[in-house]
Amino acid sequence: MIANNVIKACIFDLDGVIVDTAHYHFLAWKRLANELGIDLTIEDNERLKGVSRLDSLEIILNLRGISLPTEEKERLANKKNSWFVDYVLRMSPDEIFPGVKQLIHELKKQNIKIGLASSSKNAKTVIHLLQIENEFDAIVDGTMIRYSKPDPEIFILAASKLGVEPQHCLVFEDAEAGVEAALAAGMKCVGIGSANQLGKADIVISKTGEFNIATLQQLSTV
Ligand code: G6P
Ligand code: MG
């Protein structure tokens, strides 16, 4: 019998976990916010991580209590996205965070399935540019979900595509909303970033490439 907590699948967020596109999202949102006369700080930006495009815009507008008609919000969100896509299209495969590809290969050697769960509608473009689209056994992106993180929908869907029950899944997340979503899905979670921000995760490491099989085994026994 397999113990309840053995890890059989690892599900990776994309932006800020596999590559530093989280920074590109920040630059594009900051530029849009500046045009609206809003100063978007790094602290404010933490709340945008893992959150859908329109929900992110809403958070920014709420910083100044601005309310706008839907069409205008869509126009602004599209503008931000075109700047973001400009950054992304200049990316090369060597921008993948150090050690991430090796980690995925190590996990596969342990018969661990690999999933991607990103709220971004640009996720497939990003993994194509990084030349890693064939590394994943299942991919869920922002075009396939109704609710963005912290709702667990994205991780539940990824687990079902992988054919692995949530309790056997381990999520890698850099967003507070993403950690909450993973835990709400009944999964274990590795926070990538600072323990202040991601303290609810089972463990927090500063970089994805620092994770190793020994840590995986520890998480499988607690
Ligand atoms: C990810 C990022 C968010 C971003 C969201 C939607 O979750 O962490 O910062 O807002 O995807 O991305 P998109 O590329 O669809 O605008
Ligand atoms: Mg992220």
- 3-state SS, residue 216: helix
Under 8 Å between Cβ of 188 and 166:
no
* Percent composition of the chain: helix, strand, coil (DSSP 3-state, to 5): 50, 15, 35
User: Cβ neighbours of residue 166 under 8 Å, at least 6 residues apart?
Assistant: 155, 156, 159, 185, 186, 187
Whether 15 is a known active-site residue: answer yes
pLDDT value, residue 3: 64
Tokens found for residue 204: 């927090």
13 an active-site residue? Answer: yes
CA distances from 198 to 49, 90, 189, 208 (A): 12, 30, 10, 14
Q: Is 49:174 a contact under the CB 8 Å cutoff? A: yes
This prediction has a pTM of 0.96
Set 15, 141, 174, 202: catalytic member: 15
Distance separating the N- and C-terminal Cα atoms of the chain:
17
pLDDT (0 to 100) of residue 107:
97
Which protein residues have a CB closer than 5 Å to ligand 2 (ion)? Answer: 13, 15-16, 174-175
Q: Using an 8 Å Cβ cutoff, are 168 and 9 in contact?
A: yes
The pLDDT of residue 221 is 78
- Edge to edge, the sheet with strand 188-192 lists 138-140, 113-117, 9-12, 169-173, 188-192, 203-205
pLDDT along the chain (222 residues), means of 10: 79 97 97 96 95 96 96 98 97 97 97 98 97 98 95 98 98 97 98 96 98 94 73
* Residue 44 contacts residue 50 (beta carbons within 8 Å): no
- Measured from CB, residues less than 6 Å from any atom of ligand 1 are 15, 22, 25, 48-53, 56, 81, 118-122, 142, 175
Q: How many C-beta neighbours within 10 Å does residue 146 have? A: 8
